Amino acid sequence: MRGLLGEYDWDDDRFLVIGAVILSTFFIGFGGGIVFPILPNLGVILGISPVLVGVILSANRFSRLVANAPAGILVDRIGTRTPFVVGMVIQGVATFGYVIAVVAPAPAAWFILARLLWGIGSALVFATAYTIAADVSDGGSRGTSMGLIRGGVLFGAPTGLVVGGIVSEVAGTIVAFLLATAFAFLASGLAYATIPETHVEGETRDSVKPWDVDVSVPAVTVGCINFAVLFVYFGVLFSTLVLFLGENDLGVLGFDAQGSSGMFMAITVIVAGVFMFLGGYASDRFAARVPTLVTFLVVTAGGFVLLAQADTIATLTVACLCIGAGQGGTSGPLMALLGDLTPDERMGRAVGTNNVLGDVGGGLGPIVALPMADLIGFEPVFLASALLPLAAALVLLIGVRRQTGQFSPAVQTPET
């Protein structure tokens, strides 16, 4: 197991490896965060329909939907380092595509193409990042490791969200997109310099076939929960927030809906990043994933109930805090549960299946939420969104019971 950092004893250097992944994904998340407050407002900037804006927002998730399973198979076959670095570079190229889209004819087509390319790159990054965490952890530390990795994937976004909203208003859309591109390529360079191989030693695993997708009970159960959480979080909240603020004339620090939405998105992501670690740590500390997961799914549902009633900045802030805590607190234990129930040699494929179902949720969210909010209003959409995390909790209990014979199996650690 060797990269540019040399050879590792995972027991001693687990956090060094995880730190390298966090650093790389922080900067790619920062670049992605810069562009996100702008994308939902493309209807105003480009004069296109809400449905087409939804397609642009979802395009990366649909390309990742196609790429997730092959990415997981590739990881189990050739390892983690090369797919991780290549995925970062692809995301950098895709981010520059936003710059081209602003100045080229047919901008909507360019935006869709850039988002499709971004999805392919992120499929490689996500499949490798979580597999690395599983590779270097055991049952007693997996929740914490997964929480740190997932936090790293998202933690760059809060600053990026705020910067993107402000820079786009002050300096213009092109400057914001160029800044995002610079950070995406910085992330690529860091990945190349720091990420070691953790998954495959020596020869590749020729026994891993290109069509060998993981459809086991653990992978599908975890994927269904990921579907629900990403549908309501990225698909509903992130795609409608800027429009919700505009309709209700809510803003902070003198910024309009676009700038303010970046700040509220940042609140949810900061809180999610903190609770990714705390949720994963709690599931390790108490040697049980299911109680932690159910708790945070309920918190997510409560956040959307509050959001449906939000008519002041204070109420909206509390709603965003609950949604962020719920989404983050679910993430670490969810991936740890997948690692607990999946053999090491199949982890890449299991992550691919999980990501496929998550991206179906995140991709369908904007396409459903934006037109429905325009048709029936925000309150019914947010209340309906509160039901999905509760349904996910039921799926969790059924799936875990079927796989293990228990509703809340104890986590196996080296001492047990």
The angle, 0 to 180 degrees and rounded to 10, between the axes of the packed helices 107-135 and 81-103 is 160
Closest of 91, 79, 38, 17 to residue 259, by C-alpha: 38
φ/ψ (deg, to 5) at 3: -130, -160
Is the separation of the CB atoms in 18 and 24 below 8 Å?
Answer: no
Tell me the CA end-to-end span of the chain in Å, nearest whole number. 27
Q: CA 278 → CA 151, 152, 182, distances in Å?
A: 10, 14, 31
Is the separation of the CB atoms in 288 and 410 below 8 Å?
Answer: yes
For residues 96 and 61, give the distance between their C-alpha atoms in angstroms, rounded to a whole number: 18
pLDDT of residue 215: 77
pLDDT tens string 345-363: 777 778 878 877 887 888 7
pLDDT of residue 15: 67
Q: How far is CA 44 from its chain centroid?
A: 26
pLDDT of residue 185: 86
Is the separation of the CB atoms in 136 and 17 below 8 Å?
Answer: yes
The amino acid that residue 32 corresponds to is G
What mean pLDDT value characterizes the chain? 79
Domain segments of the chain: what residues?
2-201+212-404
φ/ψ (deg, to 5) at 170: -85, -45
The amino acid that residue 14 corresponds to is R
Residue 6, SS3 per DSSP? strand
Q: Which two tokens stand for residue 204?
A: 């590749």
Neighbours of 52 (CB within 10 A): 16
CATH level 3 topology of 2-201+212-404: Growth Hormone; Chain: A; (1.20.1250)
pLDDT of residue 301: 96
Q: HEC profile for 295-354?
A: HHHHHHHHHHHHHHHCCCHHHHHHHHHHHHHHHHHHHHHHHHHHHHHCCHHHHHHHHHHH
pLDDT tens string 129-183: 877 777 776 656 666 777 777 766 666 666 676 776 677 777 777 888 888 888 8
Sign of the torsion angle spanned by Cα atoms 329, 388, 55, 84:
positive
Select, from the ranges 245-259, 350-364, 377-391, the one with the highest average predicted confidence (pLDDT): 377-391
For residues 40 and 50, give the distance between their C-alpha atoms in angstroms, rounded to a whole number: 9
Is the separation of the CB atoms in 76 and 128 below 8 Å?
Answer: no
Q: Which two tokens stand for residue 314?
A: 């204070």
Closest of 232, 334, 342, 220 to residue 279, by C-alpha: 334
pLDDT of residue 14: 63
The amino acid that residue 334 corresponds to is L
What's the predicted TM-score (pTM) here? 0.70
Is the separation of the CB atoms in 18 and 215 below 8 Å?
Answer: no
